[in-house]
Structure 1
Amino acid sequence: MNPFQLSRNTTLLSDAVTEKAVELACERLRRDMEKTLTDIVNNRNRIILCKKDLKPEQYELEVTEQEITIYGADARSFIYALNYLSETYLGVLPFWFWNDQKMEVKSYVEIPCGTYHSEADRIRYRGWFINDEVLISHWTAGVSKDYPWEMVFEALLRCGGNLVIPGTDKNSRIYAPIASDMGLMITHHHAEPLGAEMFLRAYPDLEPSYLKHKDLFEGLWKDAIGRQKDEEVIWNIGFRGQGDVPFWENDSAFDTPEKRGELISNIMKKQYAMVREQIPDAVFCTNLYGEILELYREGCLQIPEDVILIWADNGYGKMVSRRQGNHNPRVSALPEEGDKGRHGTYYHVSFYDLQAANHITMLPNSMEFVEKELTDAMRHGITDLWLVNASNIKPHVYPLSFIANLWKQDALSAEEHRKRYVTEYYGAENDTAQLSIMEDCIRDYPRAMLPFGEKEDEHAGEQFYNYVVRDFIYSWMKNGAAEPVEELFWCIHKDTFAAQMEWFTGKCLQTGKQLEGLYECGLTVGENELWKDSVLLQVKIHRNCLQGAILFTEAFATYERKEYKKAFFLLGNAAEAFEAADSAMRDREHGKWKDFYANDCLTDVKETAYCLKRLMGYMRNLGDGPDFYKWQREVTYSENDCKVVLITNMENHMTDWELYLAGKSRQW
């Protein structure tokens, strides 16, 4: 029998399947066919969608010379089947949009006749949390405000995902309808139980106390249930507080673990009952996150037994409790082996902790490490739900691709996946030797990341350079570097500011050589736009921020010697290094990526440069005040003229930055 020929004129018949999500998936397949196929073959073949009694999300393909029949149990069955045809035969990869895939165009493609049965994934509920989404929420990809979100949800579906938290706070309610329409289940942020509106937004003039305003809280929960009761939802129950902090930070009445646990337990039982009343077969989850995990370990929480317990990593990929300020107990975030309950994980490839995590660059730990942690999690029974903090997608495509691979039955190892990923996404423009260099660079990336601690996961993302430097600047200007920086006790518990700076200097110098080597390796790759947009860009961000941090430490050393003018210019050098990191991002905003990095407001490398410029003013005050003319004369006048002071200055006073630009090329 001749194979089925998929061409531009193949008919797609989906009338028997009426869900909007399937209609949208059919539209995407037609779009993919237009992108990859050129000829209209003289035949009358067709693809037909038919309902069949199969397990949820499973599908069957029956392929003959004239017809492909897709049998599916539900909307996602058909979505996954259509995605399978697109990827396997048209070559459209899951992250085609995010990696600017160059499509191979063909006259038509042949699909062998026979029957194909899909396999169930290892994980029942698989998805992403679009969190800290400050880049995609301010970017349109040149189309519309909604379009980037549609591309997020499409990528997740192409990865075999079925669950999403579609943004944080207001965004989650804006984009949940789009996600639902596209066929994804919805769940909720751990700080927004049941997806309800935050109490302080609804009642800004009231104290957010459940004891004082029980009816108002429950009214918000009731409204949330009513809004979502007709959608596919995994209902997140719990009670944390207003914002991403525990409620007892604002309510001193709950001063013991027992009191806190009792209130949370009672609230969860109430939320559970409210949902069950309207949705008898509802699925529930709750997050054992941060301080909640500690309460659970202490036996202070009572949770309904069919609720999926979500165990979180610490933000760096290690399945232990996260650090909260200076508190870092590293309590195991895994159920006991053999536990028959329902378990999931909230896992980070991006994290925002204002300390050392990664937000605009990829995870600073290896995929071998991630594989080990998640494989161990599965061994402990964490197979009901995986929710990955995917942030703004583009900086994290590689780890997102690897983790999506792990939730499949035929998962590749980290090494196997790396080879396939590089070949699929970078291979069109590069030969085998170049691809091998890329593999080496991606493998070596985590090895070049700064180790801020002794544990295997304690490697720094780009936030480390920015937040540590800004913490130092704050304390330096506040008390003249006379006291240690309390905000840095989480990593540098030293008795003096100078000792903390010495530790930081050593760490930065320690990693400089490895990072420079990685950068030089990345530069040997030929002209490949995706490489420049992804791995090489992220190495540049780390390299420039590290250079800025080292220059900052040199400025402090000269300050201690009271060489204020030299310190001033070194701080200017440091500011330019951080600005170079910002420029590196903005320089890669070609085509649809215009303004993608414009709202880098969390790591905010340009803010670090701005803080350094403020410190320059502090330094000028020490060394050039109170009249502020001497440095300007030394910078702009000849050596003979600057020493003759009959009139202090013949020109307007320069701003700090004007003075820096005028004198930065000289040796001070």
Structure 2
Amino acid sequence: MQININTKIIGDINLVPVRKAVQALERDIKNTCKDTTEPGLEIRLVHIEDRANSGTSGLSHSEVSSNSQKSIAYDAATEVFTIDRNEDNLTITSASSLGLIYGIYHVSREFLGVQNFWFWNEQELTKESEHIVPDNYHYESKPSKVRFRGWFINDEVLFDGWREKVGENFPWEMAFEALLRCGGNMTIPGTDHNSHRYKDLANDYGLWITHHHAEPLGAQMFARAYPDLEASFNKHPDLFRGLWQQAIEDQKNCKVVWNLGFRGQGDRPFWADDPTYDTPEARGKLMSDLILEQYNLVKESDKDAVCCTNLYGETMELYKDGYLTFPEDVIKIWADNGFGKMVSRRQNNHNPRVYALPAHGDNSAHGIYYHASFYDLQAAAMMTMLPNSPEFVVNELKDVYAHGVDDFWIINCSNIKPHTYYLDLIARMWSGGMEDGNDEGAESLQSNIKSIDSREYAKEHLQDFVKRYYGNTATSELLRKIEDAYKAWPDYTPKYGPNEDDHAGEQFSNHGARILTCGFISNFNKLDPANTKSLPELNWICKRDTLLEQVKWHEEKYKEALDGYEKYLADCNRVKEDLLAAGDAKEAERFSNNLICQVQYHYYSYLGAYHICRAILTCLDDKSEGGKFIDVLEEGPNGKPVDYLTAFYEAGLAKKAFFEGYNVMRSHEHDIWEGFYENDCEADIRQSGFVAESLMSYLRVLGDGPHFYKWQRKFQKESGGEKVHLILRIKAHLTDDELWNLMTR
């Protein structure tokens, strides 16, 4: 007997989280098995009642007393499981519901071939008559290297739009399933409202809940609860305390890693809302006092509660300088800078790059907040993969381990789909090595981290990743080409600064182009264009005396990136063509939806950004000889010729590129993915197109206003002709788009 369509899952399946995993396995069996009358191998779940050792691991609503918190100092060893094949059944045994869940997903992966990101990577599942489980099969899992490990579903703007089409809970259900398949046990289940809305669903999946660093204890933000009051603890201490106490009550049925802290009303320092605290000493003392107060509140509810606090941004600087203290057993969470480097993040133009790991020899509890996705309105990547290399990530996480940071890893995964490659790699690392933490890779990583070759480790992971998601029908030669395409990803991300991690994501092109455009429109010095003031907002990357110099710098960077992505896109399209030629249409579509779509996002973003620079430079650089329409140069207010028409044309090229990029992105939606990219609102390539459209209108006002007949005469013969100076009475004024389309003929 083998696993087939008639396989039944029996035993200890009453707990809500286990039932959800069983339902997923039943679906996987249905999707990978043909109809047959042969009896199927029985899968039996055995939950060993060992509460003295396992605590409340994996408890759902039905397992937690309504009167008290039962989360305890937690040991990941409680999550281990064994799988044994007997004559007519396959038995999964564990002391915890999480262990049973991991065992269920091991069976799905190992025997049915359903991979961790099967849904997000659009894996093609094939049906067989049966799936062989070897006689006397025996498997023992090892505990994950990291005690608490999971995803922060942050900036999940694509989920917010998509759920209207696929169902309120569906995106989060598939996210939680993928997280559990990766061996995760903890989540921040969304940003702001979503974190509260989906905490019970996450709990039903068996996951621990923790909190955004801007929402201590998972409490509602003061400004939202009391919008008419000043967010000052000095003025309203009882209201703050009431929110904290309510948060503890609201999560009494959940397993919680309690995040302690005190930040402002959003992702910023609290002193931005309360300037009373104007020294590091005052800021550190208030935060230390309130963290201790929150700690005591939680411990009153559960003496064994697990607590953590984020050393993030300004908080880490206070801690490093000795102004911030915590109770000894609080897990201190260190954060990377959003680009995978364990240094403090850049905030606006402030970038101290303070090393963000504990000192060697500090054996207290530590964790990390690490970004596979990031949003900074400057150069980060959220719609596309992390711009730094996999070996760079491995090297950083090796350093994390070397500093004893293995109590808590929370990974910012945003909308998951664009980031599966890096999320898969990080999950391998948090398990202690390879999948399930149960092979030579895991043993060597756990025993001697320093011996791991980061480049070789990343290479082996890439080969495995490509084989798992593209290996159904692709030949070994085509698999190698797909590997090469993924491997090339960090080679094309533009380098913008002196540090190894200074590689840019799609926000560099989109936000950069919009900043330049808005700065030009707001500050354009028509009497002295070349000396138009520079933009302080860009000092972090390009501090110059004039906007002209800043735009020239960006134009060079954008052109370099554009040339690179044009080549990269062509290379990827050749791989797709080779897959189609080999009859691997499914692999070609998957490759296009998973990698090519991200390369396209970059290509069109940099194409648009480059033309934005060209448009602005045409107006600022009075030493230029003019452009495509030099024959209509006009005398500007300063007596020098101005080529507004060429600038208008370049702005139109930018608009065209950005909108084409948006449409190409949406073309990758199909079936269940319809609407997935509709709410791209952070990098927002479509908004870049609207800004380029505004630039067109502004330039037309400068060069063709107030009567708007000169440019139309040049391109629309029926309007009166270039030589005959008639006020427009024959034809109505053209729109900007109509005029631009005539120019492109």
Give me the TM-score of the superposition, normalised by structure 2: 0.87
**Which residue in 2 is equivalent to 1:281?**
304
Q: Does 1:537 align with 2:597?
A: yes
- Give the whole-Å Cα distance in 2 for the aligned partners of 1:280 and 1:72: 26
Structure 2 residue matching 1:323: 3-state secondary structure: coil
Tell me the CA shift for residue 10 of structure 1.
2.1
**Which residue in 2 is equivalent to 1:577?**
657
Structure 1 residue matching 2:420: 3-state secondary structure: helix
- Give the whole-Å Cα distance in 2 for the aligned partners of 1:657 and 1:114: 68
Q: Does 1:29 align with 2:109?
A: no
Deviates more, 1:174-183 or 1:557-566: 557-566
C-alpha distance after superposition, 1:295-331 (max 9, x if no partner): 0000000111111111000000000000010000000
- Give the whole-Å Cα distance in 2 for the aligned partners of 1:284 and 1:41: 53
- Give the whole-Å Cα distance in 2 for the aligned partners of 1:89 and 1:116: 13
- Give the whole-Å Cα distance in 2 for the aligned partners of 1:644 and 1:45: 89
Deviates more, 1:502-511 or 1:363-372: 502-511
Structure 2 residue matching 1:48: 3-state secondary structure: strand
- Give the whole-Å Cα distance in 1 for the aligned partners of 2:498 and 2:138: 53
Q: Does 1:6 align with 2:86?
A: no
- Give the whole-Å Cα distance in 1 for the aligned partners of 2:39 and 2:472: 31
**Which of 138, 143, 148 matches 1:115?**
138
For residues 114 and 541 of structure 1, do their structure 2 counterparts lie closer, same or farther at Cα, with a shift above 3 Å needed? closer
Tell me the CA shift for residue 438 of structure 1.
1.4
Q: CA RMSD in A?
A: 1.5
- Give the whole-Å Cα distance in 2 for the aligned partners of 1:605 and 1:538: 12
Structure 2 residue matching 1:347: 3-state secondary structure: strand
**Which residue in 1 is equivalent to 2:195?**
172
Q: Does 1:492 align with 2:542?
A: yes
**Which of 392, 395, 398 matches 2:415?**
392
**Which of 517, 520, 524 matches 2:574?**
524
Tell me the CA shift for residue 353 of structure 1.
0.3
Tell me the CA shift for residue 434 of structure 1.
1.8
Q: How does 1:187-266 map to 2 (within 5 A)?
A: 187-266=210-289
Aligned AA for 2:593? Answer: D
- 8 Å CA contact 2:335–2:370 kept in 1: the answer is yes
**Which residue in 1 is equivalent to 2:523?**
479
- 8 Å CA contact 2:7–2:41 kept in 1: the answer is yes
Tell me the CA shift for residue 429 of structure 1.
4.1
**Which of 430, 433, 436 matches 2:474?**
430
C-alpha distance after superposition, 1:513-559 (max 9, x if no partner): 33222112101113311111121111111111111122122212322
C-alpha distance after superposition, 1:333-364 (max 9, x if no partner): 01112210111110001100000100111111
- Give the whole-Å Cα distance in 1 for the aligned partners of 2:87 and 2:236: 67
**Which of 625, 635, 646 matches 2:715?**
635
- 8 Å CA contact 2:713–2:720 kept in 1: the answer is no
Tell me the CA shift for residue 414 of structure 1.
0.8
- Give the whole-Å Cα distance in 1 for the aligned partners of 2:8 and 2:201: 27
- Give the whole-Å Cα distance in 1 for the aligned partners of 2:25 and 2:702: 66
- Give the whole-Å Cα distance in 2 for the aligned partners of 1:313 and 1:466: 23
C-alpha distance after superposition, 1:183-239 (max 9, x if no partner): 111000000010101111111110010111110000000000011122111000000
**Which residue in 2 is equivalent to 1:68?**
90
C-alpha distance after superposition, 1:17-49 (max 9, x if no partner): 531111111111111111111244544742222
Gaps of 5+ in 1: none
- Give the whole-Å Cα distance in 1 for the aligned partners of 2:164 and 2:23: 20
C-alpha distance after superposition, 1:618-641 (max 9, x if no partner): 111111112111111111117983
Aligned AA for 2:91? Answer: T
- Give the whole-Å Cα distance in 2 for the aligned partners of 1:511 and 1:142: 35
Q: Does 1:50 align with 2:50?
A: no
Aligned AA for 1:332? Answer: Y
Q: Does 1:624 align with 2:742?
A: no
- Give the whole-Å Cα distance in 1 for the aligned partners of 2:164 and 2:233: 42
Aligned AA for 2:607? Answer: Q
- Give the whole-Å Cα distance in 2 for the aligned partners of 1:135 and 1:95: 17
- Give the whole-Å Cα distance in 1 for the aligned partners of 2:86 and 2:402: 41
Moved over 6 A (4+): none
Aligned AA for 2:262? Answer: F
- Give the whole-Å Cα distance in 2 for the aligned partners of 1:409 and 1:251: 43
Q: Does 1:512 align with 2:562?
A: yes
- 8 Å CA contact 1:437–1:521 kept in 2: the answer is no
Tell me the CA shift for residue 511 of structure 1.
2.8
Tell me the CA shift for residue 77 of structure 1.
0.8
Q: Does 1:403 align with 2:426?
A: yes
Q: Does 1:549 align with 2:609?
A: yes
Give me the TM-score of the superposition, normalised by structure 1: 0.97
- Give the whole-Å Cα distance in 2 for the aligned partners of 1:44 and 1:377: 46
**Which of 327, 330, 334 matches 2:357?**
334
Tell me the CA shift for residue 129 of structure 1.
0.2
- Give the whole-Å Cα distance in 2 for the aligned partners of 1:141 and 1:362: 25
- Give the whole-Å Cα distance in 2 for the aligned partners of 1:632 and 1:646: 11
Q: Does 1:445 align with 2:489?
A: yes
Aligned AA for 1:455? Answer: N
- 8 Å CA contact 1:559–1:567 kept in 2: the answer is yes
- 8 Å CA contact 2:159–2:171 kept in 1: the answer is yes
**Which residue in 2 is equivalent to 1:308?**
331
For residues 333 and 635 of structure 1, do their structure 2 counterparts lie closer, same or farther at Cα, with a shift above 3 Å needed? same
Q: Does 1:593 align with 2:683?
A: no
Structure 1 residue matching 2:565: 3-state secondary structure: helix
- Give the whole-Å Cα distance in 2 for the aligned partners of 1:476 and 1:649: 34
Aligned AA for 1:387? Answer: I
- Give the whole-Å Cα distance in 2 for the aligned partners of 1:69 and 1:418: 32
- 8 Å CA contact 1:5–1:65 kept in 2: the answer is no
For residues 458 and 537 of structure 1, do their structure 2 counterparts lie closer, same or farther at Cα, with a shift above 3 Å needed? same
Deviates more, 1:397-406 or 1:5-14: 5-14
- 8 Å CA contact 2:543–2:550 kept in 1: the answer is yes
**Which of 104, 107, 113 matches 1:91?**
113
Tell me the CA shift for residue 445 of structure 1.
1.1
**Which residue in 1 is equivalent to 2:459?**
415
Structure 2 residue matching 1:611: 3-state secondary structure: helix
Aligned AA for 2:33? Answer: L
Tell me the CA shift for residue 477 of structure 1.
0.8
Structure 2 residue matching 1:111: 3-state secondary structure: coil
**Which of 395, 401, 404 matches 1:378?**
401
Tell me the CA shift for residue 141 of structure 1.
8.3
Structure 1 residue matching 2:415: 3-state secondary structure: coil
Tell me the CA shift for residue 122 of structure 1.
1.0
- 8 Å CA contact 2:257–2:307 kept in 1: the answer is yes
- 8 Å CA contact 1:191–1:239 kept in 2: the answer is yes
C-alpha distance after superposition, 1:577-613 (max 9, x if no partner): 1111111111111111111111111111111111111
Q: How does 1:135-154 map to 2 (within 5 A)?
A: 135-140=158-163, 142-154=165-177
